[in-house]
């Protein structure tokens, strides 16, 4: 059984290799190769396993498909969530799912950037759009760009697969291009406000992981945002509930003297010139704004996740700037 996200045709190759090995050994053992991609999200993997949104089985033998159905029966509390198909189709389902979600994020980010230029509020736009059942509410958020181990890798893989078959997946390539551009939006907001020279500027950063619920720093937008500020002379005071040790690994920030890490999110804001929100952790959504205002040199917040209400922030005396607004 292939559980990993694998290139189209992997099950066929595995089957041929096993058949060849059995032939070389002079033995006959009946076998089947099943493509059964997993759909586990970081931060909710256990729940996703116990309560799967769907089970995808790629196999040609009806007996094998029935065996897999019986195997998953204890977890199939919802009807109509078992899908059987050929192996190549099953292999492409996982790529297709992640590519669609990545594209949805990039479209939202493009719309958010347009809203920002036009003086509109993307948070209200997304809510109204999401009410349309053809669009739906999930993944209707803007932010500093997607990261992690799945979306970037899987979009690139499907682009490569398309190329191998003589097709140019232009829209998927644009999804990646839009995402790469989005990772610079929050740092550019800071530069537009405070200038290119950020020497002697200190920024309190909330969030390092590519998303809440994990310590994963792979392709996190924080890597781009923080690096853009540091190369202009800024100092960073960072807090993340899970990812601070990971951030200090050599493949990420390493031992960077421009970054100081704080276990307490409020300590990261002491004497900072501004606060940046990069990751959408729940504990960042309803902070003590009076405490934040007291700790910052100037009450300035750059919100990369649209966590706070602009009107309320203004009433509390904050200079509040957000993606999508």
Give the relative orientation of helices 122-130 and 87-118 as an angle to the nearest 10 degrees: 140
Backbone phi, psi, residue 56, to 5°: -110, 125
- Is the distance from CB of 110 to CB of 174 less than 8 angstroms? no
Residue of 45, 206, 224 whose CA lies nearest to 152: 224
- Is the distance from CB of 200 to CB of 233 less than 8 angstroms? yes
Taking the C-alpha atoms of residue 290 and residue 226, their distance in angstroms, rounded to an integer, is: 26
Please identify every residue annotated as catalytic.
150
- Is the distance from CB of 140 to CB of 108 less than 8 angstroms? yes
Beta strand pairing status for 82-85 and 55-58?
parallel
Reduced to 3 states (helix: H, G, I; strand: E, B; else coil), residue 309 is coil
Measured from the Cβ of residue 164, the count of other Cβ atoms closer than 10 Å reads 11
Taking the C-alpha atoms of residue 103 and residue 155, their distance in angstroms, rounded to an integer, is: 9
């Amino acid at each position: 059984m292939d559980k990993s996200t694998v290139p189209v045709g992997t099950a066929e190759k595995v089957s041929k290799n096993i058949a060849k090995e059995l032939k070389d050994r002079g033995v006959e053992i009946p076998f089947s190769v099943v493509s059964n991609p997993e759909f586990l999200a970081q931060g909710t993997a256990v729940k996703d396993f116990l309560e799967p949104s769907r089970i995808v089985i790629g196999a040609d033998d009806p007996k094998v498909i029935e065996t897999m159905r019986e195997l998953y029966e204890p977890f199939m509390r919802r009807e109509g969530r078992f899908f059987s198909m050929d192996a190549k189709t099953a292999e492409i389902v996982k790529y297709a799912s992640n590519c669609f979600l990545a594209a949805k994020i990039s479209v939202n980010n493009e719309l958010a950037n347009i809203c920002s230029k036009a003086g509109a509020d993307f948070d209200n736009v997304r809510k109204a759009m999401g009410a349309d059942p053809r669009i739906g509410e999930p993944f209707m958020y803007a932010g500093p760009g997607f990261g992690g181990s799945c979306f970037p890798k899987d979009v690139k893989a499907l682009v490569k697969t398309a190329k191998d078959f003589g097709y140019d997946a232009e829209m998927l390539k644009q999804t990646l291009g839009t995402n790469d551009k989005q990772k610079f939006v929050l740092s550019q907001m800071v530069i537009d406000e405070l200038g290119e020279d950020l020497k002697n500027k200190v920024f309190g950063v909330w969030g390092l992981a590519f998303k809440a619920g994990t310590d994963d720093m792979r392709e996190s937008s924080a890597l781009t945002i923080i690096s853009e500020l540091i190369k202009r002379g800024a100092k960073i005071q960072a807090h993340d509930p899970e990812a601070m040790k990971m951030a200090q690994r050599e493949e990420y920030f390493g031992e960077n003297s421009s970054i100081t890490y704080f276990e307490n999110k409020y300590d990261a804001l002491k004497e900072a010139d501004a606060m940046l929100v990069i990751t959408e952790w729940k504990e960042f959504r309803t902070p003590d704004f009076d405490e934040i205002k007291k700790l910052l040199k100037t009450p300035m917040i750059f919100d990369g996740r649209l966590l706070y209400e602009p009107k309320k922030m203004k009433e509390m005396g904050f200079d509040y700037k957000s993606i999508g607004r």
